[in-house]
Amino acid sequence: MPHTTVARRRNALVLHRRFLEDAVAAGLPAKGLDQAFARKLEISPSMWSQIKSARPIGDKLARQIERHCDVAAGWLDEDNTPPSEAPPDAAEERFVAAAREAWRQANAKGKRELSGWLKKHALEKKALEPADGAAPAP
């Protein structure tokens, strides 16, 4: 279970993504959707921006977000998303950007080496996981 602060931010971002997907599917323009989400939560756009980047979500605000997004009380505190579906954090975005740049600048041999390295490390991690799919013990 992730730390409550991490779980709350991750889950708030999941709710935000759902809001964005619903709004775009309804044909709303993308511009202004962050402000609309903040209004839905009854917080300022500035506070929503801070929450997205680093501001912790306290108990009172967590319950407020849950009420306005029609999820059960305590939902923000739970680990509700598999890591593969979790929104990327800033560090992951920087890594992906660096990997993309390395890939684009590499020749064929370099691309094979990058690909091989990633596959090797993914297989090593998978070999360390228990058979039931649970995360390995630290």
Q: Is the pLDDT of residue 138 over 80?
A: no
pLDDT by residue (tens digit) across 10-48?
899 999 999 998 988 888 888 899 999 999 999 999 999
What is the structure's pLDDT at 98?
A: 85
pLDDT by residue (tens digit) across 43-74?
999 999 999 988 999 999 999 999 999 999 99
What is the structure's pLDDT at 25?
A: 87
The closest alpha carbon to 86, from 13, 4, 8, belongs to: 13
The closest alpha carbon to 16, from 1, 60, 105, 57, belongs to: 57
Q: What's the predicted TM-score (pTM) here?
A: 0.59
Q: To which residue do tokens 């992906």 refer?
A: 96
What is the structure's pLDDT at 75?
A: 94
* Overall CATH class of domain 4-77: mainly alpha
Contacts for 68 with CB less than 8 Å, ≥ 6 apart: 40, 41, 42
Coil, helix or strand for 2?
coil
Phi-psi region of 82 (alpha: psi -120 to 50; beta: other; left: phi over 0): beta
- Is 37:19 a contact under the CB 8 Å cutoff? yes
The closest alpha carbon to 14, from 78, 97, 96, 93, belongs to: 78
